[in-house]
A and B are shown apart, each in its own frame.
Chain A
């Protein structure tokens, strides 16, 4: 069902409604073609570090990571990604409902590249997602080849 050939964005989101709305937004912005969605931290780690992703498929250009995830929570996922050489430089933007200072501080301490609070208001939410996608996929430049 999923085309692994060119995954540009990995969305880690347990709330399916949120995921759907985000996908819809990104799609409407023309950014969702190469998007892969997983629903928990374990799946995300599997995809990025384990066997969940064929060797031929390159690392995604952006990981959108929810904070509160079943099994392995977002911060733990981030910690593990930053502990591996292969995923050290993958941009990770936290997408969460939490505005707690402690969460924000912890996320950045672990090496998050961004922290976006999901607004309740859909219009604002959609706008935020669109801008995040635009920035990281179209504007931001990353090293052409990870060291691995």
Chain B
């Protein structure tokens, strides 16, 4: 997905659910058309400038011309508009840059009141028209272009953010409004609408161009937006604000211009009146001075001065009157308050032009603030044609014009009088309200052209004369615009909200419909479930009736609501009707097994259901319809409502009469077996004979619950039985009482039949009659069994009760079991005794043998000791004296004698070696084996190195592999390695190279070590002789040795509990192996 698509989606979402057309064809067309129009307008006007076709530049003589810069900007803006419509962004921006520069610079020029030269940079302004700055673009035009540049620069068809479009539309509207206001100004002849503040005015063509440009930008800005009602409303609100604002601006301009014109007229009139009054007053004063002239001409000096005095007194503004001679000398001065001097400037001016002084009115000296303090009027004095000096009268300026202003009586105006040099003569007290509203008029008095009266409105006048209507219109219009904009915006919001509401409503409706469907489904499922449940209930009935277990249900009050077939059968009822609605406790559970009443308050079936989770009882009875009872096991289960209140109950039961009987029998048998087992255990643990008898009697009596028990031993005479143990017999009988063992007694009869005898009733017994002991103890029933010894019967075990008692097979088996146990124990004890005697004898014999062996051993040790000591002494003597003979008497012997002597010595030495080795052999064999872990690798290598060292450079290829560690005697094992490796070295003599390999491994609980050589080997036929003492398979001349080494090896290995063996072939080398037990790693 490309980003623009994302953005347009976002816009669509923002605008609600309107599926607007993304690009509006008409907007595109309008933008294109407007761009083209602006371009044409600009190009044509520019061509006209260059070609000097003024009628195109300035359509009507009175109208302002479109400046060349404006034409250029129109052309470029139009081009940019066209390019943007064709998505040529960069080209458009390139065209916009000069427009922006020209417009911005022009605005800066206006704002800062400077001139940069951009106005006539391209074309000289040749059209004569009243303009503030030649060639400069009108300020409203510049503003329009600036806004247009911003609007077009912001435009990007791919980025259709709402604020961009809104800003574009707003700016477009402002541009359009600028043009439209100017057009209205032209239409209504309202200059303020197209010419701002006396600056260069916007031409009518530029106004049209602005309108076209505005429309184009508008269309461009909106073309990327979705077109639905809400968007249209948005543009409409913006447009409404701008248009209404523009209209109210125009209206305000129109009204205020009208008012201004009225005010100006009035001011001009007031100025004329004031000037007229001033001229009149000054003329009168002049005339007054002229009236003095005749007196001068008559040379009536006194009269003149008298008249002058009168004037000075009558006219308070008059400072003094002076007679000036033609030579400018002052003849006399008359003043109201005595002393005054004429300004020398007046005299100088009179003297400079005696005939025609320019003005009758001479401004006097200035005050410190620059205003004129006084002015003078003069009259030339003529005598005939000849000039005879002047009369000069001077006035206080402020007093005179103040007096005059009072007479004019225009208090709502600010009046001021200025002399011909522009210096302020006098100003009225009321301050002016504005500086820019002024009307002036010349004081029309001969020779005083430069003096002017100007009037300015005071705030009082403005308050009276200026109407608030235009301002009200403007404010109202602007407020209306804002209100309209807000209203349209609100309308749009409402519309959006409404659309959202509609959507939400639709969604809600669809959800309600879905919920309705779900509910309908649920209802259908419930219906099906109900139907299934009814079917299930029917099947349940069938199921219940087919059960072997009895089931009935109760209501909360314990009344029967249902019974299954088994229930009816077990209780002995024909139909369900007989039980329905009846209180089941009262019907079947009213009485306990022992016949006592069973109140319902104690009934576990019902109470357990009422107050708990139900009950399980298996030791009570239920009552049948016919009044009989049976043992029952039953369960009750409560059914509760959501609040935990009992609403029904289910009770099931089984007839367990038979089961309980079986169980009781089993328990009894179990008890008997346990008793036998315990007794057996006690016997095994070595209970003494007497204790065993007592225990057998006690246990039997307890288990079978009888009063009397007897254990009788057949005496050696075979004719009497003695009571050796028992329970319940009269004191002093046990151990003492002896009865006849003949078949006439109970016990004797038992012996004679050699099997258990059951006696139901002694009184009825006919098998035996002589039973005084039983009769004495009131015995009724009994049971007896034979106790067997090793050779025939040993005695009798008997049990008796004083009340009638039936003994079943189990009891018989139990008694026979106990009797057997006693018998076996007796037999075992006898055998054990015999065995012990035999054992003792055996041990005696072993001790004797051991002593003999030890003696023999000691003897042997003594023998070997003798051998070691005594055999060597003569040998040493033989060798020693032979040596003495050799050393001391050699010259007495011939060569043969010396040879014989050497033979003697050699044999003596050999004998010595034999004895040594034999001694070593016996010593090692007798040595205690002292085991510890042995590092066989290190040991074998150490021994090997010693042996190799003794071979003095004989080439030996020896390799000892890492060997397993073993438990053994270090000294003895060193001997083993010494002998085996020594043999390997010895029997490889002559091999080049001699190869010896030592290896070891763990195998089957053993550690096996092997020494392999490539020596002469041996014939396997003699392998059984290999390990015998002094057994040799090679001649001593070939390989010296005594034949003890391997015998020693075998003894040592045997003493370690191991074995040794050899494999070889003549000439092919030999392999000796020995295996040692792996041993306990913990040792």
Contacts and interface: CB of A to CB of B under 8 A. Distances in A.
Contact of B923 (A101, A123, A126): A101
Nearest to B908: A120
Contacts of B874: 17
Contact of A122 (B870, B876, B911, B919): B876
A120 B915 contact: yes
Contacts of A122: 876, 879-880, 882-883, 905
Nearest to B872: A97
Contacts of B875: 120
A81 to B, nearest CB: 21
Interface in B865-889: 865, 868-870, 872-877, 879-884
Contact of B911 (A96, A101, A120): A120
A62 B718 CA distance: 91
Contacts of B16: none
Contacts of A126: 883
Which has the most chain B C-beta neighbours within 10 Å: A17, A97, A122?
Answer: A122
Contacts of A80: none
A5 interface: no
A74 B868 CA distance: 16
Contacts of A121: 879, 909, 912
Contact of B912 (A15, A68, A98, A119): A119
Given A21-B884, A120-B908, A97 B877 contact: no
Contacts of A96: 869
A125 interface: yes
B868 A97 contact: yes
A120 B879 contact: yes
A24 B884 CA distance: 9
A98 B865 CA distance: 8
A3 interface: no
B690 to A, nearest CB: 58
Contacts of A120: 872, 875-876, 879, 908-909, 911-912, 915-916
Interface in B839-889: 865, 868-870, 872-877, 879-884
Contacts of B919: 99
Contacts of A125: 876, 879-880
A97 B873 contact: yes
A68 B869 contact: yes
A100 interface: yes
Nearest to B912: A120
Interface in A76-123: 96-101, 118-123
A67 interface: yes
A113 B865 CA distance: 23
A22 to B, nearest CB: 9
Given A119-B912, A120-B909, A100 B876 contact: no
Contacts of B881: 17, 21
- Interface-centre pick from A96, A97, A99, A126 (highest chain B CB count, 10 A): A97
A18 interface: yes
Contacts of B876: 17-18, 21, 97, 118-120, 122, 125
How big is chain B's contact interface, by range? 20 to 34
Given A97-B869, A98-B868, A120-B875, A21 B880 contact: yes
A61 to B, nearest CB: 25
B889 to A, nearest CB: 13
A21 B877 CA distance: 8
B1068 to A, nearest CB: 38
B923 A100 contact: yes
B158 to A, nearest CB: 113
Nearest to B919: A99
A67 B923 CA distance: 19
Interface-central residue, B876, B883, B905, by most chain A CB under 10 Å: B876
Nearest to A67: B869
Contacts of A100: 865, 868, 923
Interface string B1000-1025: 00000000000000000000000000
Contacts of A68: 869-870
Nearest to B868: A98
A17 B882 contact: no
B873 A18 contact: yes
Nearest to B911: A120
A122 B875 CA distance: 10
B1040 to A, nearest CB: 15
Contacts of B879: 120-122, 125
A11 to B, nearest CB: 15
A11 B923 CA distance: 29
- Which of B865, B879, B905, B915 has the most CB atoms of chain A within a 10 A radius of its CB? B879
Nearest to B866: A68
A15 B880 CA distance: 13
A132 B865 CA distance: 25
Nearest to B883: A122
Nearest to B888: A24
Given A101-B923, A120-B872, A120-B909, A17 B880 contact: yes
A122 B876 CA distance: 7
Contacts of A21: 876-877, 880-881, 884
Interface string B891-927: 0000000000000010011011001100100010000
Contacts of B869: 67-68, 96-98
Contacts of A123: 883
Contacts of A98: 865, 868-869
Interface in A1-59: 15, 17-18, 21, 24
Contacts of A118: 872, 876
Nearest to A25: B880
Nearest to B927: A101
Contacts of B872: 97, 118, 120
Nearest to A123: B883
A17 B882 CA distance: 12
A100 B866 CA distance: 11
B929 to A, nearest CB: 15
Contacts of B909: 120-121
B868 A99 contact: yes
Contacts of B911: 120
A121 B873 CA distance: 11
B877 A17 contact: yes
A17 B873 contact: yes
A100 B867 CA distance: 12
Q: Which 3 A-B pairs have the closest CB atoms?
A: A120-B912, A17-B877, A122-B883
Given A101-B923, A121-B879, A126-B883, 20 more contacts: A17-B874, A17-B876, A17-B881, A18-B873, A21-B877, A21-B884, A67-B869, A68-B870, A97-B870, A97-B872, A97-B876, A98-B868, A99-B916, A99-B919, A100-B868, A119-B912, A120-B875, A120-B912, A120-B915, A122-B883
23 contacts: A15-B873, A15-B877, A17-B874, A17-B877, A18-B877, A21-B880, A21-B884, A68-B870, A97-B870, A97-B876, A99-B916, A100-B868, A101-B923, A118-B872, A120-B875, A120-B879, A120-B912, A121-B909, A122-B876, A122-B879, A122-B882, A125-B876, A125-B879
Interface of B: 865, 868-870, 872-877, 879-884, 905, 908-909, 911-912, 915-916, 919, 923
Interface of A: 15, 17-18, 21, 24, 67-68, 96-101, 118-123, 125-126
